[in-house]
A and B are shown apart, each in its own frame.
Chain A
Amino acid sequence: MVIRLAGDSQDGIQTVGSFLARFAGRSDQDVMTYMTIPSTISGGPSIFQVRMGTGDILTAGDHADYLVAFYQHSYDSHIHSLKPGGVLLYDSDHVTPDPNDKRFTAIGVPITSCTVEAVGGAGKEKGKNIFVLGLLARIFELDVEKLTAIVKERFGSRSEDIVRNALLAFDAGYAYSAEDLRDSLRRFDSAGQAPSSRPQVTMDGNTAITYGLIAAGVRRGAGYPITPWSTVMELLRTELPKYGGIFVQAEDELAAIAYALGFAHAGHLSVTGSSGPGLSLKAEALGWAVMAEMPLIVVNVQRGGPSTGLPTNVEQSDLMQAIYGSHGDAPRVVLAPKNVEECFHVALEAGRIAREFSTPVIILTDQALATRIEAFDEPDLPAIIVDPKDLSAGRGQGDFKPYPLDRMTRHAPAGVRVATGRYPTVTGLEHDELGHPTANPALHAKMTAKRREKIKAVAAALPPTPVFGEPDGEVLLVGWGSTWGPIREAVTLLNAGGIRTGQIHLRHLNPLPQGLEEIFGRYRAILVVEMNDEGLYGLGQLATVLRARYALPSIRSITKTDGLTFKISEIVSAVKSRIPSGAKTA
C-alpha cells in the first residue's frame, strides 16, 4: 500500500512522514517503510510518500494506491501517479477533481474546514497535517496511543497550546466518518478483480435497501421512527407515492407491522422495519404472520443493545431474535447483506422469497451498513425489476384452500373473487386447510410441519456457498453481515503470514445453506466472527446456531462488544490466539 501526500511544504507534510516513520520504528504494526521525495522548490509544492503493510506482501512501486491531495495543484500534478482503481482523498475545501475521471475512487474530506473547526479560530489550519495523520491512523488502524505519544514528544518542547491543538486536530481526523474511508480502501483492495463495464452508483446501505425494496415490487409499508432504521422509512415515505404507493408512519411498531400485514392481506408485497427494540414490539405479530402464512418483509437495522443500549453504535446481537424471536414454533427466513451492494439485492431476494413461500422474511442489517457509503455496479434494473401488479394474479381460483397441506399457501387477497364461493379467514388460530380453527392434535402437528418444511425448502434453492482464500487448511473464518470487509482482509493477512485460512460469509442465516458441513470438514478450526457477546457458553449467536446444527467442537467464536466495527488486526490476533502456536498447515 503506497500513499502519496501532496501539498505544500509549509503544511508540514514531512512532519506527518516523520511521525509515521518513527511510529513504524516503534511498533510491529503495518507501517514498514517510508520515503520522502523532497520538492525542488523550497516552500512550494511538496510530497511525501509512505508504504504501509506487512513487508513481505508489498513490493516497491512508484505508483500510489492512495493519493492525498491538499490543493488543486497537488491534484493536477500527482493524479497521474495514482493507480487506476486507486483512492483519491482530497481536501474538498481546495480541490475539485475531474468529475469524468472514473478511474479512481474519489473521496472529498473538507480537511481545512474540519481542522479549523476542530482547533478553533482563524489561522489554525496549520494543523491540517495532523488532521490527515488522524485520518490515516483510522484508515490503517494504527495504534493511536503510540502515535499521539510521538505527537506530544515532537511538540512538547514548544508549548502546551501547540500540543493541545495538535491533538484536537488528530482526534478530529481520527473521528471523521471513518467507515466511508475504510470502505473505499477495501474496494481498492479488491480492485484487482476484472473491472466492471457497468456504471457505478454510490449510496449508503439504507438507501440501497430502500431502492432494492422498490425494485422488488414493494409499494406499501409502515414503520415507526428509530435510529438507525429511520432513514429507510423516511425515503420510502417520499419515494413510494411516486410509484403510486403508500408508506404509513404508524403510532408504534405494533401498529406498523399490523398495517404492513393489512397491506399484505390485500395483495401487496409490503415492508415494515425497525431496530432491535422495535422488532421486540413486532414479535407477537411476527408469530401471527408465520401462523397465518403471510408474505412480509421485515427490516432490522441492528444497533447495540439490549434496550436503548448503544443507539448509534453497531452490533450484531439480534440474530437470535431474528431467527427465533416471537412465541411458539415460528420459523421464518432471515437474510443478512454483507455490504451496501448486497443491501439492494437482498431486498429483492427477500421479496421473492416472501412471495414464493408466503412467509415473513427478516433482513438483518446494522448501523455500520446503514450509514456506510459504497460504490457498486449499477443494478441491471430492466432485468430484475418486479412488477407489483403481478402479485395477486390468478389467486383464489379452482378448488382454492387458504392452507393446503400438500401445496404452498397462495392467499386470495381481499378483493379477489374466490371461485368456490367460500371466503377464507386468514387466522392466527391453528386451523385446517380451509382456515377453520381446530385444536385437532394431528392437524397441529401437520401444520407445524408444513410451516417448517417450506422454510427448509428455501435452503434447497440456494446456490453453493463460495469460499474465499484457502479452500482447506488451518482456519475457516465464518461471518455474516457487515463484518465481511475486515474478515476478508484478515484472511489475506493470515494467509500471507503462513496460516492457511479460508472465509465463508453467510447471507442466508435461516435456513442455513446446504453444504456447509462439507466445507467445515476441510479446516481444523472454524472461527465464527461476530459483533456480539460470547454468551454464557463462550459462543456468539451465529456460533451457537452452527454448533447446534453441526455439533462440531471445532466451531468456536471470535466476538466483541465495544460497539465498533472489527479492526483487521483484532481479527488476526484473535485467530492467532485461538490456534496452537506454530500451526501452519502446508
Chain B
Amino acid sequence: MSATSAAIASTPTASPVPLSKKALTGDHPTWCPGCGDFAVLAAYYRVLEKLQYPQEKIVTLAGIGCSSRFPYFVNTHGVHYIHGRSLPFAAGVSLSDDELHVFAFGGDGDGFSIGGNHLVHTARQNVRLTYVIMDNFVYGLTKKQTSPTSPVGFKTKTDPTGSVDQPVNPMRTLVNSGATFVARSHATQVSHMIEMIERAARHDGFSVVEILSECVEFYPGAFDAGNPRKGGQFRLIEEKKGDGSPEDALRHDPSDELSAYRLASQPWPGLFGVFYEAKRPTKNQLEVGLISKAREKTKGASDLALLQSSLARMR
C-alpha cells in the first residue's frame, strides 16, 4: 500500500473465484429497448472479466443522464453523483488509493456541456482514471434537447427548426486538453469497444473513450453512417507497428498530436480507434512525489510529533 492509501483498509487477497459477468451484474437496466448503452454495459462487463481486478477495488461512477444510470447496473462500488461533475469526484477517489480502478461513465451533455470545464482540467491533470462518454448527440433523459454534440440542423425541442451552434469535436477537444489516451468507438462494434475500453483501463493516466451510442428514442439512426450493417462504414485508424515497412510510414503514430488532430478532422462519420496515446506523469504520481519530498524532510515523524512541533513553533 502506498503512502497515499495509508488511510484505507484494504483486503490483501484478490477474489478467490474469477470475477464473472454474473458477479458484476447489478440492477436490471432501465434503458429503452434498443438503446445503444446496453452494448456499452456489456462491453464493460467483458473488460472487467478480462482484467480480473479484485471486485472491491473497482469503482464505477457517473453523473446524470440516461447513460449515467450506469453504476446501478454494475455490482461494484458505485457512485451516482450530480450532473456533469463525476470527473472531479472520480479524481478524488483515484487520488485516495493507488489500488483502486476508477471508471466514470456519462453522456455528451454531462461531459461536454455542464461538465466541460472538469473534462478539460481532469485531462490536464492527467488523473489516473478511465472515462467513457456515451455520445448520442442529444439529451436523452430530459427528452430531446440540443446537446453540445448535436449536428447543425438537428431538430430538437429547444431547436425546433434545427440546431444552429457548431458542435464540439470531442477528439480534438480531448487531445488539446491534455488527455493522455483518447479513443473513439461505436456501440454496434462490440469487439472494438471492448478493445478500446480495455486499452483505456490499462493506460496509466487519464484515458477517454467516446462511444457513439444511439438514442433510439430521440435520435434514431444517428450513427448508421458508421455501422456497416446499416450501409455505413466503420473505418479504423491504422496505428504504426514500427516494422519499418513503407506502409508503416503512412500509419498513424498515436503519440503524434498533429496527426491526431488531422484524423479528428475527417468528415462524418470519421475514424474509429486510438487517436492519441502518450506518457506523462499522472497527478497520482506527482502528488505522491510531493508527499515523499515532504516526508523526507520530516524524517518519518509521527503525525502527533509533526503536529506538536508545528504548535510548538507558535508558542
* Interface, chain A (partner B; CB < 8 A): 199-203, 207, 211, 214-215, 219-220, 222, 239, 241-246, 248, 250-252, 254-256, 258-268, 270, 284-285, 288, 378-379, 381-382, 385, 387-389, 391-393, 395, 412-418, 421-429, 435-437
| Residue among B71, B80, B97, B99 with most chain A CB within 10 A | B80
B130 CB to nearest A CB, Å: 15
The one of B3, B72, B88 that contacts A437, using a Cβ cutoff of 8 Å: B72
CB pairs A–B below 8 angstroms (25 shown): A200-B315, A202-B315, A211-B307, A211-B310, A214-B307, A219-B6, A220-B96, A222-B92, A242-B297, A250-B121, A254-B85, A255-B85, A261-B89, A262-B95, A266-B92, A267-B7, A379-B311, A391-B7, A393-B9, A413-B77, A417-B56, A423-B55, A423-B75, A423-B78, A426-B78
State A62–B287 Cα separation when bound (angstroms): 60
* Chain A proximity of B98: nearest CB distance (Å): 10
**Beyond A241-B293, A262-B88, A417-B11, 15 additional pairs, beta carbon < 8 A:** A201-B314, A207-B314, A220-B92, A246-B4, A246-B287, A254-B85, A261-B89, A265-B77, A266-B100, A267-B9, A284-B82, A413-B9, A416-B11, A426-B79, A429-B80
Per DSSP, are chain B's interface residues mostly helix, strand or loop, or mixed? helix
Residue contact A418 to B88, C-beta cutoff 8 Å: no
One of B38-46, B136-144, B298-306 contacting the partner: B298-306
Docked CA distance A395–B10 (Å): 11
Say whether B72 contacts A436, CB under 8 Å: yes
Instruction: Return the contact of B23 from the options A201, A243, A256, A421 (Cβ within 8 A).
Output: A421
Q: Output the nearest chain B residue to A395 by Cβ-Cβ distance.
A: B9
Judge if B243 is at the interface, Cβ distance under 8 Å.
no
Q: Contact between B304 and A285 (Cβ–Cβ < 8 Å)?
A: no
Q: Which of A220, A258, A268, A437 has its CB near the most chain B CB atoms (within 10 A)?
A: A258
Question: Interface on B for A, CB 8 Å cutoff?
Answer: 3-11, 23, 26-27, 54-57, 59, 71-72, 75-82, 85-97, 99-100, 117-118, 120-121, 287, 290-291, 293-295, 297-298, 303-304, 306-308, 310-311, 314-315
Q: How far is the CB of A289 from chain B (nearest CB, A)?
A: 10
Give 10 closest A-B pairs by Cβ, nearest first. Answer: A262-B92, A266-B96, A425-B78, A258-B88, A241-B294, A255-B88, A251-B121, A259-B92, A262-B89, A427-B80
Q: Are B82 and A381 within 8 A (Cβ)?
A: no
**Which of A201, A262, A393, A426 contacts B91, CB < 8 Å?**
A262
- Closest chain A residue to B64 by CB distance? A428
CB–CB B307/A381 < 8 A = yes
> What residues of chain A lie closer than 8 Å to B27, measured between beta carbons?
436
Is the pair A250, B304 in contact by a Cβ cutoff of 8 Å?
no
Report the minimal beta-carbon distance from A533 to chain B, rounded to whole angstroms. 31
Residues of B with C-beta under 8 A to A261:
81, 89, 92
Given contacts A203-B314, A251-B117, A425-B79, contact A241 B290 (CB under 8 A): yes
Smallest Cβ-Cβ distance to A431: which chain B residue: B80
CA distance A242 to B297 in the complex (A): 8
Whether the pair A262, B77 counts as a contact (CB closer than 8 A) is no
Residue among B23, B79, B91, B293 with max Cβ neighbours from chain A (10 Å): B79
The 8 Å CB contact of B80, one of A260, A266, A428, is A428
Closest Cβ–Cβ distance, residue A306 to chain B (whole Å): 23
A246 contacts B291, CB within 8 Å? yes
A284-B63 Cα distance, complex, nearest whole Å: 13
A285 to B82, CA, bound (A): 7
Q: Which residues of A contact B75 (CB under 8 A)?
A: 421-423
CA–CA, A246 to B71, complex, Å? 27
